[in-house]
Structure formats: C-alpha cells, structure tokens
C-alpha cells in the first residue's frame, strides 16, 4: 500500500497544483477553495498490467470508453480536464514532439484494423457517430468523425483529424505537442474545396478561428510550469519536400487572424529563408505588433545546414520543426527530448573558479583554464540518461516506428538526439570581461575581493556593483574581444557536450533556456553586478542598457553554432510600442536579421509604463499578453518575479 501511495501522490499533487492555479485570478482563498473543489472531480485511469506497453493500451481503451463527448464544440476534441492516465513515476512521459500531420492526414488507419491503438480509437469514434443529438453542428461533426481514421478528403475533415489526434495525445499525458505545418498540411484540401465550390476564403477563416479558440480553451489545464506554457504551436512557412517555399493563402490567413487576437495560446512559429516574400514579413510585423508574442522567427537557411552537419539526413530536414519552444527537430521522425535536464550554468562555473582561485592564479589565461575546468564539471553534472515512458499512440503516428514495430521510445523513431540547454551565457561573458579588465588588467580588484563580494552579496559595495554594471564591454556589443571570449566559452561547451552520450546517442546543446529565473535562485551574486538570486539574462539577449536590437542581432549572427550547438539559440528583445507607427521598419528589421544569419528571434512589443501600470492595476489590463520564454501568457497570470523581470528589461531596452 505504501508503495502504491508513493507512486500515485506525485501525479495527484501536480494535478492539484494545476487545479488551484486555474483559479489564480479569484483571490487567494477562492483560488484554494476552487482548486480543491475541482480536484475532487478528477478521475484516474489505471492498469495492473506489468508490461508498460500493455498497460498503456489498456488505459487508452478505458479512456476511449469513458471520455465525455462534448456536443457543443465546433469540432470534436477528445480532451478532458478531469480524466487522467496514470503513468509510471519512475519514467518521464514523452513530451514536446509533434507528428508530421501531412502524413497523418494521408494515412488510412482504418486499414490497420488489428492494431490495438486503432481498435481503441475506433471505440471512441463509434461512440461519437452513434450519439444522438439535437445540436445541428454536432450532426456535421459526427459526419467528419466517421472519416478520422481514413485519409482526409476535405478541409474541415483534415482539421478534424488533426484535432482528434492532437487531443488524444494530450489525453494520454503527452503534453507540449504541437500542430505542425498547418499551412503546408492543409493547403491541398483547402485548394480542392475552393476549386470545387465547397469552401470560400471567408468560410475558411471562420473555421480556422474556431479551431484556434478550441485549442486555446483549456490552456490552464494544459500549462506546465506557468500559465500559457503548453507548447501548442502552429508552424508556418519554410521549404517543402520538393524544395518549394511554402507561402500560400493559409500562411496569410493564419498571420492575419493572429494579428487580430490578444491571446497567448496557441502560438505561431514562422520558418523564413531567402525566398520569404515582403508580404509575409509585412504580415509578420503586423502580427508581432498586436502584442501576442507570435510568431517566433526561425531562420532555416541558418538552422538546416547546421542540423545536416550534426547528423540529420538532408532528405528529412525540409520537415524542420521545434520542440515546445524553439529547439529544432524533425516532425514525425524525432523522439528528441530537448528540455528534460537541468540547464548548464557557466555563471556558476565562474563563481566556482573564483572560490578555487589562489594567489598563484597569475593571469587571466590561468583563470580561464580554471573556469573551463569548473565548466566541464558543471556540464557533466547536468547530463544523464533518460528513463522514458512508452507511447503506442505516438508510435502509430510516426511512420518509421510503425514500419519497424518498435515503440518510438525504444528505437522506433529515426532520431533520438536529446538536448541540453545553457542558461545565463550573457551574464557569464560580462562577469569574465569584468574579471579580465578590473582584476588582471587594471588591478583594481583581487580575486580574494571578488570572493568576498560574492559571499556578502555586494553588502556595502554599491559603488563596486555600479562599476561592474557600467563597464563598456558587454555581451551583445560587436567587439572582437567580446566575440572571441563568447565563442571561446561556447567552443568549450560544444567540445564537452559533443563527447556526451544520452541514452547512447549524441547530445545537442543550445544557448536559450526557460530557467533564467528558476535556476537563478541557486546562484550567488556574480561579477557582472548581479545580486544573489536575481534573474539571469533571457536567452541570447543583452543585460542592461546601451545595446540596441540591431547590434545584438549582428552580434548573435556572428556567434558560432557549429557542431552540436543547434538546440535553440534565441535573441529575445523588447521593442517599444512606437513601432506600431512604423510597420515597414519592423518588417525590414526582420528581413535584415535573416540576411545577416540570425538563428532565431522572438519579440515583445511593450513599454515600461504600461507594464508598471498593469502590475499595479491588473483589472485595467485583462488581455495584456507578453512573451515569457518560448511561450506567451497573460501578464496578470504571471508570478510577480516574472512581471518585475519584464519591467526591468523593458526599462533597460528603452534607453
């Protein structure tokens, strides 16, 4: 009994926290009471089978028999916020991967009648089609559902099939799963229905808006660490299998729709290249200026060659997608788990080197060798094998796995390059630059004094802290010495990670991490002038003032991403709302960034005064959306430390 309780409690606690968080806007006491009331309604689906795949299949069948059928949605979306699959606590559930939905739409699952996943799904489909209802739209939904296990033959049918499988993946606890390349996947069905008179552009827009609203209707229940952190992305643009640039009416429809929405979820990711048109950049600029954080810009001219050199087959890279946020992978072929490990902290390695240094550390080069030793130890402490749950449902949707008969977690997926992330690289570079200048060049400080300052958190050292923060050379400044140091640290990380194996496969690393606040609590004061526990820098973004967006884009474009450094490298910047008067300028900035070789870019369009007022008077800003790390959220839903961080960054970037 004790062992059973130990297994069950962690998952129940996670569910309880989510129930409570969903009532955050109602005040502390009502939040707790409402959360407890919701928690009492939760139901769990178990299996006593010892084999994990058998247990999964039994649970899938039980869920297909039990899940409530909602007649009132525009599409059938089989996701219940009160019904949960219980999975083994010794294993991690599979997250943050996405099928190639264009292949799913063309697949005849009904012909796989002996497949146990298909048999379970057919139980649910039969329940839907046999249900009696007076709701007129539901009659059309039942017609669409009769086709979800067959190849799609219409625009609405294709959307229903995608939503059916997307929801079932969520229902089986595979969170952070995206929707893939919808402009590419849906366009053949859209074009056919338009040509045959069954659909108009205006009707398609209505349908897409219904789909977007449905996907975002249960954001609270789907969110992971923070509200909005769902990984539900729609991918637009990019090359197709024949090398043609995907840019069609649906691309513009999605961008146009999101330019009218103040919602955090779902989100857009836009693949761009040298053939991306001005009209797409213009539409993207208008979308970003709406202030919902979409889309993230992914420069495939930069990313795809790096992926190919790392080990992804050229014939697969046309289907470049991402994990939940920004980490590149291959849709429908990658089992890559890209954010399951603690983030590498080079800033902690700087502090460790200071603590270990002695009077015999004669010059900066000697200190760098000590730092690199500490950095390697930090990297290796973060890396370990992953024990993963199985997923017969994902296996059904991955063609390589279906052909091999192996679960995607056991070699069925073509790729399983798991990823690591680095947090606080800009802080690290600033700290090292300060040590080089003030300790070894100007000799204004000793390493012993640096140690004392760190241990006492700048107590009675405000002048020194100001000096550290005001040094002219910083991460993001296009200066040879800054770039050399940045690439040296990056090269060291690459050389260590390239020799690490996770579950027997090569590992990747990226210089963007969601942990810039959560892991900062464990890092003492640092020689960039940061106090103990204060947030780290956000991704590849400058700390403090006097580096504008153009300079940091130029700087990031000159960084070295070769080798295994492909697991997400995002410039995250806050631009002023004044850009609303200059859409063309933002469009040109986006295009120029790609031409210069930027990896990825995400933007907040905010001003400090609005954020301060929203923090003080949340009732005035119920729909204020901000970009957090790889997702967007309502500002009012964020913990206060994230609000303060955004305010501080907005103030710094305004200068």
pLDDT bucket at 3, cuts 50 / 70 / 90? very low
CB within 8 A of 344, min separation 6: which ones? Answer: 378, 379, 382, 420, 421, 422, 423, 493, 509
Has residue 161 been placed in a domain? yes
Total number of domains constituting the chain: 3
The reply to whether 76 and 180 lie within a common domain is: yes
Choice between 89 and 406, residue whose per-residue pLDDT is larger: 406
pLDDT, tens digit (0-9, with 9 covering 90-100), for 581-598:
899 999 999 999 999 999
Q: What is the mean pLDDT of residues 156-175?
A: 98
CATH label of the domain that carries residue 292: 3.20.70.20
pLDDT of residue 653: 87
pLDDT bucket at 7, cuts 50 / 70 / 90? very low
pLDDT, tens digit (0-9, with 9 covering 90-100), for 322-369:
998 999 999 999 999 999 999 999 999 999 999 999 777 889 999 999
The reply to whether 328 and 373 lie within a common domain is: no
Show the domain range for 254. Answer: 42-339+389-417
User: By C-alpha distance, which of 45, 40, 37, 62 is closest to 8?
Assistant: 45
User: By C-alpha distance, which of 83, 81, 96, 85 is closest to 23?
Assistant: 81
> Would you call 103 exposed, middle or buried from its count of C-beta atoms within 10 A (0-12, 13-18, 19+)?
middle
Choice between 496 and 48, residue whose per-residue pLDDT is larger: 496
- Mean pLDDT for the chain overall: 94
pLDDT, tens digit (0-9, with 9 covering 90-100), for 509-558:
999 999 999 999 999 999 999 999 999 999 999 998 889 999 999 999 99
Scanning 441-544, the segments in alpha helix (DSSP H) are 447-455, 462-469, 480-497
Can you name the residues that pair with 237 across neighbouring β-strands?
271
Tell me if 140 sits within 8 A of 176, measured CB to CB.
no
pLDDT of residue 265: 96
Has residue 602 been placed in a domain? no
pLDDT, tens digit (0-9, with 9 covering 90-100), for 407-457:
999 999 999 999 999 999 999 999 999 999 999 999 999 999 999 999 999
Tell me if 514 sits within 8 A of 422, measured CB to CB.
no
The reply to whether 400 and 444 lie within a common domain is: no
Pick the last residue of a domain from 568, 596, 616.
568
Instruction: Name the percent of the chain lying above pLDDT 70.
Output: 95
Question: How far is the C-alpha of 528 from the C-alpha of 347, rounded, in Å?
Answer: 10
SS3 content of the chain, % helix, strand, coil (to 5): 50, 10, 40
Has residue 590 been placed in a domain? no
- Six token digits for residue 39: 């928690």
Q: Among the listed ranges 152-161, 305-314, 598-607, which one has the minimum average pLDDT value? A: 598-607
The reply to whether 203 and 311 lie within a common domain is: yes
The reply to whether 513 and 529 lie within a common domain is: yes
pLDDT, tens digit (0-9, with 9 covering 90-100), for 266-280:
999 999 999 999 999
């Amino acid at each position: 009994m004790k062992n059973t309780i130990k297994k069950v409690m962690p998952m129940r606690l996670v569910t309880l926290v989510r129930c409570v968080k969903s009532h955050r806007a109602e005040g502390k006491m009502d939040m707790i009471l409402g959360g407890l009331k919701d928690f009492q309604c939760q139901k769990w689906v178990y299996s006593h089978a010892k084999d994990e795949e058998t247990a999964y299949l039994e649970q899938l069948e039980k869920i297909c028999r039990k899940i409530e059928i909602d007649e009132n949605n525009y599409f059938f979306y089989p996701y219940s916020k009160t019904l949960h699959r219980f999975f083994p606590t010794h294993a991690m559930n599979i997250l943050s991967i996405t099928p190639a939905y264009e292949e799913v739409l063309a697949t005849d699952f009904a012909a796989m009648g002996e497949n146990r996943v298909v048999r379970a799904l057919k139980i649910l489909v039969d329940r839907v089609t046999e249900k009696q209802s007076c709701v007129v739209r539901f009659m059309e939904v039942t017609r669409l559902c009769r086709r979800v296990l067959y190849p799609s033959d219409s625009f609405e049918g294709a959307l229903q099939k995608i939503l059916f499988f997307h929801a079932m993946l969520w229902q089986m606890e595979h969170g952070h799963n995206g929707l893939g390349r919808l402009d590419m996947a849906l366009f053949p069905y859209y074009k056919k229905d338009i040509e045959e008179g069954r659909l108009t552009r205006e009707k398609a827009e209505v349908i897409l808006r219904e789909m977007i609203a449905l996907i975002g209707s249960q954001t609270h229940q789907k969110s992971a660490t923070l509200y909005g952190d769902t990984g539900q992305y729609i991918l637009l643009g990019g090359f197709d299998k024949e090398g043609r640039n995907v840019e069609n009416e649906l691309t513009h429809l999605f961008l146009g729709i999101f330019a009218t929405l103040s919602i955090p979820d779902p989100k857009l990711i836009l693949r761009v290249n040298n053939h991306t048109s001005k009209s797409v950049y213009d539409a993207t600029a208008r979308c970003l200026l709406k202030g919902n954080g979409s889309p993230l810009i992914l420069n495939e001219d930069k990313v795809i060659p790096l992926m190919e050199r790392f080990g992804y087959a050229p014939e697969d890279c046309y289907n470049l997608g991402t994990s939940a946020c920004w980490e590149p992978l291959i849709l429908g072929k990658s089992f890559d788990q890209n954010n399951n490990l603690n983030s590498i902290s080079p800033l902690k390695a700087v502090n460790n080197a200071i603590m270990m240094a002695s009077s015999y550390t004669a010059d900066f080069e000697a200190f760098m060798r000590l730092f690199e030793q500490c950095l390697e130890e930090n990297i290796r402490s973060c890396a370990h094998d992953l024990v993963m749950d199985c997923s017969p449902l994902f296996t059904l949707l991955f063609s390589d796995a279906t052909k091999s008969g192996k679960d995607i977690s056991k070699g069925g997926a073509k790729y399983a390059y798991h990823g690591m992330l680095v947090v606080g690289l800009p802080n690290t570079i600033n700290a090292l630059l300060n040590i080089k200048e003030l300790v070894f060049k100007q000799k204004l400080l000793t390493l012993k004094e640096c140690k004392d300052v760190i241990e006492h958190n700048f107590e009675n050292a405000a002048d020194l802290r100001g000096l550290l923060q005001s040094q002219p050379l910083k991460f993001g400044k296009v200066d040879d010495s800054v770039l050399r140091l940045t690439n040296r640290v990056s090269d060291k990380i690459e050389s260590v990670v390239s020799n690490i194996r996770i579950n027997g496969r090569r590992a990747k690393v990226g210089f963007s991490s969601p942990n810039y606040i959560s892991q900062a609590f464990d890092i003492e004061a640092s020689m960039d002038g940061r106090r103990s526990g204060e947030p780290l820098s956000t991704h590849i973004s400058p700390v403090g003032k006097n580096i504008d967006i153009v300079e940091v884009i130029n700087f990031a474009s000159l960084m070295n991403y070769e080798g295994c450094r492909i697991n997400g490298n995002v410039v995250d910047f806050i631009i002023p709302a004044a850009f609303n008067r200059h859409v063309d300028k933002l469009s040109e900035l986006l295009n120029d960034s790609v031409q210069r070789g930027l990896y990825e870019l995400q933007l907040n369009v905010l001003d400090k005064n609005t954020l301060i007022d929203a923090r003080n008077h949340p009732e005035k800003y119920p729909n204020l959306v901000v970009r957090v790390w790889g997702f967007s959220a309502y500002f009012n839903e964020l913990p206060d430390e994230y609000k303060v961080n955004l305010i501080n960054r907005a103030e710094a970037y305004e200068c």
